[in-house]
Chain A
Amino acid sequence: MQKFVALLIIGLIIATGYTFVTYQYFFAGFTNLHNYSKTPAYVLKGSTVYTNGTVILQIARVDGPDTYGGFIVLLQLISQNGTIIYQWNAQQLGSIPQSHIHNEYPLHPVKSDKFALVVPLGQNASVLLQVPFKLKPGTYTLRAYDVDGQDSAYGISFSVTVQAQQS
C-alpha cells in the first residue's frame, strides 16, 4: 500500500509537472503569453547576395498555422541607404522552377503555386534567384512580405542584412 501511494505521488508530480512545464515552454503562460500558431513568421538567416546579381534566399518558416501557407508575395533587395534595388513580385515568386528550390526536408516542400512562393511550416529551403544586373559591392537587405502584408511577426523580422560576395 505504501509503495502504491509513493508511486501515485510520483505520477501526480509527473502529470502536473508536464502540464505546467509545457504550458510555460510552449506559450509562456505564466509570464508573457504567446501563441506561435496564429500568424506566419519567416527567418531569412543564411541568405547570400553575390555581386553578379545571384541571390540565394534561405527561408525557414518558423511560426504560423500548420495546415496552410505561408505565402511570400514580395521580396525586396534593398541597398544600405534604403533604396529598393530590385524586387520580385508575386507573379515572379509564383513561377520559380522547382529545380531552383532546394528543400531541407523531402516532405512539405517549398514551391511556387502561380500566386506566391509557398513556404510550409517547419520547412527550410534555399531558393536561387537572379537580379538582372550586376550589384555594387556593399551591404544589402533582403526583405520578404507575407500575403497578409506583414514583414515581421512575434518580434521576428522577415529580413536579413548581408555583405555582397564576389562571384
Chain B
Amino acid sequence: MALPIMRITLGWLYFSAMLRRVWNVPAKMNPASPLYVGGKLITFVPHSLFIGGILQYTLLHPVILFDFLVIWTVLEGVFGLFLMLGFMSRLSGLVIALLAWGIGLGAGWIGTTCLDEWQIAAVEGAAALVFVFAGSKWLSIDQLLIKKYPNGLKIGRWNIPLW
C-alpha cells in the first residue's frame, strides 16, 4: 500500500525533467541556445567516473550529443510517466535506476551546497531498484495486468516479469 508514495514522486522527477525541456523551456533542447542542456555534459568532465571518454567523444560530436539528449529525454519522460501510473513498474524501475546511476557517474561530484548530484543519483537509483523487486499493486495499472497475465509477458518459453 505504501509504495505509491515514493513511486509517484520518483516518476514525476523524471517525467518533469522531460516537461522542463519540451514544454516549459524548449530552448533547453536547442543546440544554438545558451540554455542548451548539452553544455551540462562539459561540467561533468573533470571528475567523472568511468564515462569520461564517452562524455568527451559526445561533446566533440554535436550531432551525436543532440541524439543522445533526445533519447535520454524520451526515456525520462516515458518511463517516468509509466512509474507514476504503475505501468510495467519492474521494467520502468530498472530503466529509471540506470538513468539515475548513469548520470550520477558524470554529475555525481557536483554540488555546491551539499553533495547534491551524488545524493540524487544514489537515492533515486536505489529507490527505482526497489520497484524492480516490489512491482506495483495498489493505485497502479499493473494490478490489472497481473490479474490477466500473472506471469508477466510471455515470449517463447520465457516469462518476462515487466509488472
Bound-state CA distance A23–B109 (Å) is: 9
Bound-state CA distance A35–B133 (Å) is: 34
Which of B40, B47, B129 is close to A36, meaning CB atoms less than 8 Å apart? Answer: B47
Please, which residues of chain B bring their CB within 8 A of the CB of A1?
none
Tally of contact residues, B, Cβ under 8 A: 32
Chain A, 64-105, CB within 8 A of any chain B CB: 65-66, 105
Bound-state CA distance A4–B110 (Å) is: 36
Please, which residues of chain B bring their CB within 8 A of the CB of A16?
126
User: Are B43 and A121 touching (Cβ within 8 A)?
Assistant: yes
User: Are A22 and B46 touching (Cβ within 8 A)?
Assistant: no
Cβ proximity bits B121-154 to A, threshold 8 Å, 1 near / 0 not: 1100110010011000000000000000000000
Bound-state CA distance A17–B95 (Å) is: 18
Chain A, 16-63, CB within 8 A of any chain B CB: 16, 18-19, 22-23, 25-27, 35-38, 61-63
User: Are B112 and A18 touching (Cβ within 8 A)?
Assistant: no
Per DSSP, chain B at the interface is helix
Task: Tell me if A123 counts as interface (CB < 8 A to partner B).
Answer: yes
Taking residues whose C-beta sits less than 8 angstroms from the other chain, chain A's interface range is 20 to 34
Among A8, A62, A66, max chain B CB count under 10 A is at A66
- A to B contact number (C-beta, < 8 Å): 86
Interface-facing stretch out of B7-15, B19-27, B76-84, B100-108: B100-108
User: Are B40 and A66 touching (Cβ within 8 A)?
Assistant: yes
Task: Tell me if B62 counts as interface (CB < 8 A to partner A).
Answer: yes
Task: Tell me if B39 counts as interface (CB < 8 A to partner A).
Answer: yes
B21 to chain A, nearest CB (A): 16
User: Are A22 and B39 touching (Cβ within 8 A)?
Assistant: no
A113 to chain B, nearest CB (A): 13
Bound-state CA distance A105–B55 (Å) is: 11
Please, which residues of chain B bring their CB within 8 A of the CB of A25?
49, 108
User: Are A14 and B129 touching (Cβ within 8 A)?
Assistant: yes
User: Are A107 and B59 touching (Cβ within 8 A)?
Assistant: yes
A-side interface residues toward B, CB under 8 Å? 4, 7-8, 11, 14-16, 18-19, 22-23, 25-27, 35-38, 61-63, 65-66, 105-108, 120-123
B-side interface residues toward A, CB under 8 Å? 36, 38-47, 49, 59-60, 62, 101, 104-105, 108-112, 115, 118, 121-122, 125-126, 129, 132-133
Q: What would 18 A/B residue contacts be, using CB atoms closer than 8 Å?
A: A8-B133, A15-B129, A18-B101, A18-B122, A22-B105, A25-B108, A27-B109, A35-B111, A38-B112, A61-B46, A66-B43, A105-B42, A105-B60, A107-B39, A107-B42, A107-B59, A121-B43, A123-B42
